[in-house]
């Protein structure tokens, strides 16, 4: 009895264990830093071609001892920000005015286009104001339609400079609003070292002030002489457009079914497809409907269409229809195109995807490796989404785990890990449990019978013989 019970208890552990041999391949990981603790690695086409789970659960990072560490797959990384651009701005020198004071002794005469661009600015002064230093600035930002993160000033060399500026915004050159930011221009030299600061930060201002047509910079001290030679705007860094990666699938010639042609494709992987495109040789214009399914014996599901994919002109010099966006990310392996008219040439189905990111904690002993591709092993849930969210709350929304990089793939269990699983372990477990239940029932029945046989003689002795 005891061996049967022990075997029944051990079988579940064997059924859910996920040793290194349960995965098809591994990719050694090179860490960008040794002490980061948390890392991210971008998945590539070779990884997706090994995955078998529709949710990409058969990918996990393991340490040197083959033990899985906390791992999760995140959405594609936001594209890197492009370097900030600088554009020169038109500017005009003005007499400085103290806060709250009006322009005494001078007036501003300007001429602007319909879009607000200043064409001419003239400062008319009377005798009392003729000697005022023109160290305030009127900056024309009407042509800048992007967010400005900072202004950068240039000036003629001077012995020393440490001057604060207040910043005001206006749309009509008459009504000015003081902004919640200040600038400080510093140019100091001591013992051969130079301290230089030219920027006035504007990042974080309210949208209405980011879109103002004009800015006015007024120094704190009107007597400070500084000759400005240029003003430039540093535009807020823009995100580069996300560029998908593409795989191209070819299939057998279409099967004519009535007036339509049908083409089936096998992507041989679990790519997170978000865009599709269809290409035919030569000039073409065909209306397509796209379907997909998870297994080769499952029902087809509608994904896109009908839409017209066309090409006019030779090769890359021709004009093509744009790729089609899918409404949801799809990891299906099998795809089918239906044409509304007979098609003689087999089309090329192009699947566009953005590589996802696996994030993991460096637990245990390095080196680490990404293991992927299994029909029986599945990655467990981890608290990494909450960890990443909290780190970004503390360190800023742009925080990222340190990078790690995929190495050359190495075989583990190979095709053996990708073979269809026959659930013999579950059947064996149920058989053992059933056998155990029969043995227990047999023992119980035997015990009841033995107790019954002992009670019968005792009952006969208590009753005695007739006539006593």
pLDDT digits (tens, 9 = 90+) for 257-298: 444 688 999 999 999 999 999 998 888 889 999 999 998 889
Q: How far is CA 59 from the centre of its chain?
A: 18
Residue 435 has pLDDT above 80, yes or no: no
Do residues 293 and 255 share a domain?
Answer: yes
Residue 219 domain-assigned?
A: yes
- What pLDDT score does 154 carry? 92
Do residues 110 and 142 share a domain?
Answer: yes
- How far is the C-alpha of 357 from the C-alpha of 71, rounded, in Å? 10
Do residues 391 and 336 share a domain?
Answer: no
Residue 258 domain-assigned?
A: yes
- How far is the C-alpha of 151 from the C-alpha of 231, rounded, in Å? 7
- How far is the C-alpha of 204 from the C-alpha of 188, rounded, in Å? 28
Do residues 141 and 196 share a domain?
Answer: yes
Residue 465 domain-assigned?
A: no
Q: Which of 53-57, 121-125, 244-248, 327-331 has the lowest mean pLDDT?
A: 121-125
Residue 46 has pLDDT above 90, yes or no: yes
- What pLDDT score does 210 carry? 62
DSSP 201: E
* Domain termination site, one of 216, 235, 254: 235
Which has the higher per-residue pLDDT, 252 or 89? 89
Residue 79 domain-assigned?
A: no
Number of domains, the chain: 4
Do residues 56 and 191 share a domain?
Answer: no
Residue matched to tokens 């024309």: 140
Residue 131 domain-assigned?
A: yes
DSSP helix/strand/coil, 84: coil
In terms of residue numbers, what domain contains 395?
Answer: 2-74+357-418
Helix (H) / strand (E) element for 437: namely helix 424-463
Residue 458 has pLDDT above 90, yes or no: no
Do residues 378 and 341 share a domain?
Answer: no
Residue 107 domain-assigned?
A: yes
Do residues 132 and 252 share a domain?
Answer: no
pTM of the model: 0.57
Do residues 42 and 136 share a domain?
Answer: no
First-residue to last-residue Cα distance in the chain: 50
Residue 310 domain-assigned?
A: yes
Which has the higher per-residue pLDDT, 464 or 42? 42
Residue matched to tokens 């010099």: 317
Q: How far is CA 43 from the centre of its chain?
A: 12
DSSP helix/strand/coil, 460: helix
Classify each residue of 182-197 as buried b or exposed e, where b means 16 or more C-beta atoms within 10 Å of its C-beta.
ebebebeeeeeeeeee
DSSP helix/strand/coil, 463: helix
* Domain termination site, one of 186, 204, 235: 235
Which CATH number belongs to the domain containing residue 91 in this structure?
2.60.120.260
Do residues 374 and 297 share a domain?
Answer: no
Do residues 105 and 230 share a domain?
Answer: yes
Residue 203 has pLDDT above 80, yes or no: no
Do residues 252 and 295 share a domain?
Answer: yes
- How far is the C-alpha of 383 from the C-alpha of 359, rounded, in Å? 11
Q: Are strands 402-406 and 38-42 parallel, antiparallel or unpaired?
A: parallel
- What pLDDT score does 21 carry? 83
Residue 66 domain-assigned?
A: yes
Residue 51 has pLDDT above 80, yes or no: yes
Do residues 341 and 372 share a domain?
Answer: no
Percent of the chain topping pLDDT 70: 71
> If you average pLDDT over every residue of the chain, what do you get?
79
* Domain termination site, one of 385, 401, 418: 418
């Amino acid at each position: 009895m005891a061996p049967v019970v022990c075997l029944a208890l051990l079988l579940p552990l064997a059924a859910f264990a996920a040793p290194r041999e349960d995965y098809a391949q591994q990719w050694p990981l090179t860490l960008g830093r040794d002490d980061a603790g948390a890392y991210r690695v971008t998945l590539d086409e070779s990884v997706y071609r090994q995955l078998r789970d529709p949710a990409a659960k058969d990918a996990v990072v393991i340490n040197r001892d083959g033990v899985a560490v906390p791992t999760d797959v995140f959405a594609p990384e936001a594209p890197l920000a492009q370097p900030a651009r600088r554009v020169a701005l038109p500017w005009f020198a003005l007499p400085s005015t103290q806060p709250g004071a009006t322009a005494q002794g001078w007036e501003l005469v300007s001429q602007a286009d319909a879009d607000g661009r200043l064409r001419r600015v003239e400062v008319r002064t009377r005798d009392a104001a003729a000697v005022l230093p023109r160290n305030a600035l009127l900056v024309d930002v009407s042509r800048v339609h992007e967010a400005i993160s900072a202004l950068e000033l240039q000036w003629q060399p001077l012995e020393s400079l440490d001057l604060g500026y207040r910043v005001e915004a206006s749309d009509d050159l008459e009504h000015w609003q003081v902004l919640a930011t200040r600038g400080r221009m510093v140019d100091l030299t001591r013992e051969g070292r130079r301290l230089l600061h030219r920027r006035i930060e504007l990042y974080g201002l309210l949208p209405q002030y980011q879109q103002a047509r004009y800015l006015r910079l007024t120094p704190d001290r009107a007597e400070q002489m500084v000759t400005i030679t240029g003003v430039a705007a540093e535009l807020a860094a823009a995100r580069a457009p996300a560029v998908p990666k593409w795989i191209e699938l070819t299939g057998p010639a279409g099967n004519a079914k009535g007036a339509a042609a049908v083409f089936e494709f096998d992507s041989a992987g679990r790519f997170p497809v978000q865009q599709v495109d269809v290409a035919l040789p030569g000039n073409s214009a065909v209306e397509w409907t796209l379907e997909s399914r998870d297994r080769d014996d499952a029902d087809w599901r509608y994904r896109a269409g009908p839409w017209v994919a066309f090409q006019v002109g030779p090769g890359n010099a021709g004009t093509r229809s744009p790729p089609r966006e899918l409404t949801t990310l799809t990891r299906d392996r099998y795809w089918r195109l239906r044409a509304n008219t007979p098609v003689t040439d087999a089309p090329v189905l192009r699947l566009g995807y953005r590589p996802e990111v696996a994030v993991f904690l460096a637990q245990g002993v390095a080196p680490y490796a990404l293991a992927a591709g299994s029909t029986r092993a599945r990655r467990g849930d981890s608290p990494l989404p909450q960890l990443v969210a909290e780190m970004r709350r503390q360190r800023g929304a742009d925080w990222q785990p340190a990078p790690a990089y995929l190495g050359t793939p190495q075989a583990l269990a190979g095709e053996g890990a990708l073979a269809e699983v026959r659930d013999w372990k579950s059947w064996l477990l149920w058989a053992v449990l059933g056998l155990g239940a029969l043995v227990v029932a047999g023992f119980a029945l035997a015990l009841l019978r033995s107790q019954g046989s002992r009670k019968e003689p005792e009952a006969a002795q208590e009753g005695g013989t007739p006539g006593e």
